[in-house]
Amino acid sequence: MKGTILHIDMDAFYAAIEQLDNPRLRGKPVIVGGGMRGVVSTASYEAREFGVHSAMPIFQAKRLCPRAVFVPVRMSRYQETSRRIMAFLNTISPVCEQVSIDEAYLDITGTERLLGDPIALAKRIKEWVREETGLTCSIGIAPNKFVAKIASDWDKPDGLTMIRHDEVEDFLDDLPVTKLPGVGKRALKTLEGLGITQAGQIRKLPEAILTKKFGKFGRSLLELSRGLDPSAVVSHGEPKSISNENTLGEDTDDIEILMKTLAAQSETIGRRIRTHGLRGRTITLKLKYSDFRLVTRARTIDGPTNSTKIIRDTAFELLKNEQLRSKVRLVGVGVSNFQSSARQLAFFEKLSIEDERQSRLDMAIDEVSGKFGRDKLKRGR
Ligand code: TTP
Ligand code: MG
């Protein structure tokens, strides 16, 4: 299963709007920023040639490009344009996720018959943006969010880059590791210590070395270097996590009571996840002790799930691993890290007989709860 994800990102967004509204600024280095923090919000592409970039102190930008025009941030003006663009993108696909003021992902997997070929669609989006807002954007098309984002950045400004499934690894070969999500100063140093500066080099490392150096993140690095990213495009209004918690009638350290509460919560969460058609990989246990100290413990499981039993059993395990230091006043469980539909299907095909049985049971319980109310039917432990 291969997805088709678009990443749309406006070019030099704030600066481009300033140049649009004030024709005298067009073609000139324009730096938007200042204010309380005294940093550059963004710079026009003309100013970037002098080395000016977002988050740089204004005084430094002045030094690099003294003849630039400095303008203050006009947030409401940018927001108004942003809202129009996002509303338009939402009309193309309901699976649209806005990730910042000027960028969004669209999941158009399986919509070719409806929306036409992805490149033609991307061209139509660029045209609409230019005509309706007077601005340019760059679009990346790829099998998943991570690669789509790298692709939109590839040919900025006014770019359009499509990376097909079988081109992903080649495309990422020379990518500087700093472009990988999660690689900050510390990871960069470790990677450099291994002689690694490009994504393609990570792919050639044994996984054992990566996990030794980076722990769990090592595995993510390997997946990213292969261009794999299972994360779903989450539409606005769709939850990023689903959780349930209760303050107990009385503080307790009785593990049976805690488990009973977790079981009921897992039941509710499982039903809500299934209603949304989601499957999540990370299960989180939340405990608040009687002194209000809050702890959360999370576990990421191999395959995304919507099964009440898996959610409940993972929560139980997290609870059992926790040394209760005092009585507990609140307990809760949550599911997050929802995965993309392509990945969901791939996983679904591999459902074991036991999974299948649990899944039928979940559906049956959902149906009865829907008809007769929530508390009519509960599974035994
Ligand atoms: P970006 O999309 O990161 O940058 P951009 O649109 O200006 O340029 P590019 O062509 O490279 O996409 O961010 C969008 C807007 O968000 C940007 O115009 C200003 C604002 N912003 C900040 O205020 N501070 C920051 O540090 C960054 C990165 C962006
Ligand atoms: Mg941008």
Length in residues, the chain:
381
Q: Which of 54, 99, 126 to mutate to test the pocket of ligand 1 (most atoms within 8 A of CB)?
A: 54
How many angstroms separate the CA atoms of 316 and 322, rounded?
Answer: 10
Dist. CA 30 → ligand 1 center (Å):
13
Which residue's alpha carbon is nearest to atom 20 within ligand 1? 41
Q: ∠ CA(298), CA(299), CA(303), 5° rounding?
A: 140
Catalytic residue IDs: 103
Which of 373, 140, 335, 324 is closest to 245 using CA atoms? 335
Ligand 1 pocket, Cβ-based, cut-off 6 angstroms: 9-14, 41-42, 54-55, 101-103, 156-157
3-state secondary structure of 6: strand
Q: ∠ CA(245), CA(246), CA(251), 5° rounding?
A: 130
Q: What is the mean pLDDT of each run of 10 residues along the chain (381 residues)?
A: 89 98 98 90 98 97 97 95 92 89 94 88 96 97 97 97 97 96 95 96 94 94 94 81 94 97 96 83 96 95 92 98 94 89 44 74 79 65 61
Dist. CA 67 → ligand 2 center (Å):
23
pLDDT at site 83: 92
Q: Which residues have a Cβ under 8 Å from the Cβ of 122 and sit 6 or more positions away?
A: 6, 139, 141, 160, 162
Q: What is the pTM of this model?
A: 0.72
Dihedral (C-alpha) 208, 213, 214, 216: value to the nearest 10 degrees?
Answer: 30
pLDDT at site 343: 38
Q: Which of 11, 13, 48 to mutate to test the pocket of ligand 1 (most atoms within 8 A of CB)?
A: 13
What residue has token string 């472009």?
Answer: 179
pLDDT at site 344: 41
C-alpha pair distances (Å), 269 with each of 138, 147, 339? 39, 31, 16
pLDDT at site 373: 65
Q: Is the peptide bond before 157 cis (omega within 30 degrees of 0)?
A: yes
Angle 75-92/118-133 helices, nearest 10 degrees? 150
pLDDT at site 358: 81
